[in-house]
Amino acid sequence: MNSTSATSASASLDDPRYYLTNFQFVLDWVAARHDDLLNDAERGFLATFPRLPVASRALLVRMVMRRGELFRHSRLEYAEIGAVEKALAPLLAAGFVEDDPECDVGELFRQLRLPELRQALAEEVAAAGLPRSSSKAALREALEPRLVTPRPLTEWWPEAPDRLVRLTMMALCDRLRLMFFGNMRQDWSEFVMAELGVQQFETVPFDEGSRAFGCREEVDDYLALHRLRERLDEGDCPLALGASLGDVPPRNAWLASRRARLLVRLGREAERRGEGDAALSCYEQAGSGEGRIRRLRLLERRGEHELAHALLERSAPVGEREAQALERLRPRLCRRLGLTPPPQAPEPRPSRFDLTLPSHAEGVELAVAEHLATSGAPVHFVENALVAGLFGLLCWEAIFAPLPGAFFHPFQSGPADLGREDFVARRRDRFDACLVELDDGHYRRTILDRWHAKQGLAATFVNWERLPLSLVELALTRLPATHLRACFERLLADPLVNRSGLPDLIQFLPDGEVPGYRLIEVKGPGDRLQDNQRRWLSFFRSHDIPAAVCHVTWREAP
């Protein structure tokens, strides 16, 4: 087993080429752990890159870390690299950079400033009858439909005082970054944040075989899903994107979950465009959970009540969220079909109180907190931070257990399998051992010791900014262990879903009052409870945990 911390993985920022050191660290890491997932071109890059002159390597990494693939020579000047032409030459010879690449008119408008565009496109501007004083947006709107053939900058503007180059290795470097991080959300800035101390991570031991992907096809599938999501964000037709998903099979449970989430997004966009059939197809392919809920709701809105009812009766809900949605839908469908709905227990109404307050510049939650707080009964704005944070501290060792597939690089704030169905099952004995401390009283010492030992480390469930030591100490004296155990067990039932929806405020009541606190969900004018908040409030009521909803109206200024 080995263990690599984030700080040891990053170069010192005192080194002007720190980014090159970090990039090489990733290349070495991937080469050591993922060689069987690489093709010959990727292995060739890993072998060739370290042999290039240091200035050339530094320049390539600078381009990799920037947005896009096309760059102007004049914008590639860095003091630690020196002459751009000299640094570029080995990259051009290796094929890592292309000189004078073709670019379409959209890219031309991104690369050139307005005065330059007026010179480069002077003939086109005149032919379109546009005044030379036209704005950049006006020029683009008028010329883009007319100029559809990509050309090198030297053809767009032969007299250009600058040149363009294209980084040909961006897709390859994105693939290497994905294999290192296991996601496309994290990037090279993680190293810098760690070196600056802005973000620090727990050190978790893992072996050389620990990695996110088991085969090359899984990497391909992840990248294909990522590209489809990018195209959706760029406005591509959801119907066409949905068809492309047929080329990305649900190869494993993790990628199937990502695929299902993308299908839901495609369905929502298709609904927004009025493409109901396409939306239904996407939701059907997404399967249970949100896909099934949205499919049934859309069928109801389309008047297809019999089909919706038949599907609902065949549906076994997965988790509280889906069960809640289906139980709301069932009586409506029964009424529309003339059927007698099955008896349902009425949803318990949460305790409620109302306040009329002057408007508050920092929001309705702080307005209520300031109004209710007294010296003997302080109020804290905690939202999801307190209960989840105490859980994260008590169960730290279980969450950061070095299980196979959970940790594989030094920049993880939590296990990679957190959202998978077997997350808790794989750690059941570890979580049970943590919860036992709530029965024997050791939990207070464990949580406090862990707060001091781990303070500042990026950690799933723990929001340090909203979890000061004073709040932790007060909570541990006022919140009964039985209440904490009940809440923690509910978190374990569905960690990703149930870590949100908790009340905004906690008020600690004067000494001697039992229980010694109350939770308060705040709703401003026109606001209403969300489903995840309703589920938590219903849970609190069934476990005699004190919680209420405060509805606020603003007092009109005199």
Residues 152-167 have pLDDT tens digits of 999 999 999 999 999 9
Q: What angle in degrees, to the nearest 10, is found between the helix axes of 18-33 and 54-64?
A: 80
* pLDDT for residue 532: 93
C-alpha 90 chain-centroid distance: 38
Peptide linkage before 515 cis (omega within 30 of 0): yes
Distance CA 382, CA 533 (A): 14
| Residue 5 scores a pLDDT above 70 | no
Q: Which helix (H) or strand (E) holds 31?
A: helix 18-33
Distance CA 336, CA 466 (A): 48
Q: Are 136 and 45 in contact, with CB atoms under 8 Å apart?
A: no
* pLDDT for residue 522: 97
Q: Are 37 and 219 in contact, with CB atoms under 8 Å apart?
A: yes
Q: What tokens appear for 269 in the block?
A: 């966009």
Give me the percent of the chain exceeding a pLDDT of 70: 97
Distance CA 31, CA 43 (A): 8
* pLDDT for residue 459: 96
Q: Are 85 and 92 in contact, with CB atoms under 8 Å apart?
A: no
* pLDDT for residue 321: 86
- 119-130: average pLDDT: 91
| Residue 288 scores a pLDDT above 90 | no
pLDDT band at 3 (very low <50, low <70, confident <90, very high): low
Q: What tokens appear for 64 in the block?
A: 């990799």
Determine the length of the chain.
Answer: 558
Instruction: Report which DSSP code applies to 459.
Output: B
Q: Are 448 and 441 in contact, with CB atoms under 8 Å apart?
A: no
Give Cα separations from 510 to 90, 354, 513, 518 (angstroms). Answer: 73, 22, 6, 11
C-alpha 237 chain-centroid distance: 23
Distance CA 379, CA 185 (A): 36
Q: Is 451 exposed, middle or buried (0-12, 13-18, 19+ CB in 10 A)?
A: buried
- 224-246: average pLDDT: 88
| Residue 7 scores a pLDDT above 60 | no
> Model confidence over 385-443: pLDDT tens digits?
999 999 999 999 999 999 988 998 999 999 999 988 889 999 999 999 999 999 999 99
Q: Are 241 and 232 in contact, with CB atoms under 8 Å apart?
A: yes
| Residue 113 scores a pLDDT above 50 | yes
> Model confidence over 479-538: pLDDT tens digits?
999 999 999 999 999 999 999 999 999 999 988 788 899 999 999 998 999 999 999 999
Give strand pairing partners of 352.
549
Q: What tokens appear for 39 in the block?
A: 């093709």
Give strand pairing partners of 549.
352, 521
Q: What tokens appear for 31 in the block?
A: 């080469």
320 Cβ contact list (under 8 Å, min separation 6): 493, 494, 497, 498, 535
Pairing of strands 547-554, 70-72: unpaired
Q: Is 75 exposed, middle or buried (0-12, 13-18, 19+ CB in 10 A)?
A: exposed
Q: What tokens appear for 332 in the block?
A: 């409506």
Q: Global pTM?
A: 0.85
- 274-285: average pLDDT: 93
* CATH class belonging to 210-336: mainly alpha
* pLDDT for residue 1: 45
- Residue ranges covered by each domain of the chain: 2-181, 210-336, 351-554
Q: What angle in degrees, to the nearest 10, is found between the helix axes of 469-478 and 443-454?
A: 170
